[in-house]
Every structure is written in C-alpha cells, then in structure tokens.
C-alpha cells in the first residue's frame, strides 16, 4: 500500500471513530435519569473509538515519517 493509500485509510478510520463517538455521546445524553441498559455498551464504544483514533493517528504519523525518509534519501 502506498503512503497516500495508508493515510487515506487512516483518515477513513478517524472519520468512522468520530461517528462512533457522536452516536454514543448522543445515546448517553438522551438517557433517562434512572439509567439504561445500553449505557455500558455506549461507554465501551467510546473507549473503542478512542483506541481507534489513536491507532489511525499513529498510521498517519508513520506514513508522514516514511515520506520524509524517502525525501531525505532522494535528496
């Protein structure tokens, strides 16, 4: 996979994780005061989204480093 392809995949992952956060946050904000059985799942989803965002950000950072290394080799 090319560097640009890796970055595009990572950006799609970041968007997907952002969507997960938005859905879970919306669900949590609509909870009645007495609780809801979906709260634990929404909290887990937020944690998964956080992990996915960190992983995708690492992919972007690594791809940028690879591009810089390629430029350094060529120059």
In 14-66, DSSP assigns E strands to: none
pTM of the predicted protein model: 0.69
CA distance to 20, 26, 36, 43, per residue, from 31 (Å) = 17, 9, 6, 13
**CA 73 from centre of chain:** 31
Tokens of 48: 């998964």
Q: Can you give the residue ranges of every domain in the chain?
A: 3-74
Task: Tell me which residue of 29, 50, 28, 46 sits closest to 37, measured CA to CA.
Answer: 28
Q: Using one digit for the tens of pLDDT, what is the confidence trace for 32-66?
A: 765 667 888 999 999 999 999 999 999 998 988 77
pLDDT for the residue numbered 22: 95
Q: Which residue has the higher pLDDT, 18 or 2?
A: 18
In residues, how long is the chain? 75
């Amino acid at each position: 996979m090319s560097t640009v392809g890796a970055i595009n995949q990572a950006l799609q992952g970041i968007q997907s994780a952002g969507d997960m956060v938005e859905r879970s946050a919306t669900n949590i904000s609509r909870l009645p005061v007495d609780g809801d059985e979906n709260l634990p799942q929404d909290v887990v989803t937020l944690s998964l989204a956080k992990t996915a965002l960190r992983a995708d950000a690492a992919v972007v950072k690594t791809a940028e480093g690879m591009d810089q290394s390629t430029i350094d080799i060529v120059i």
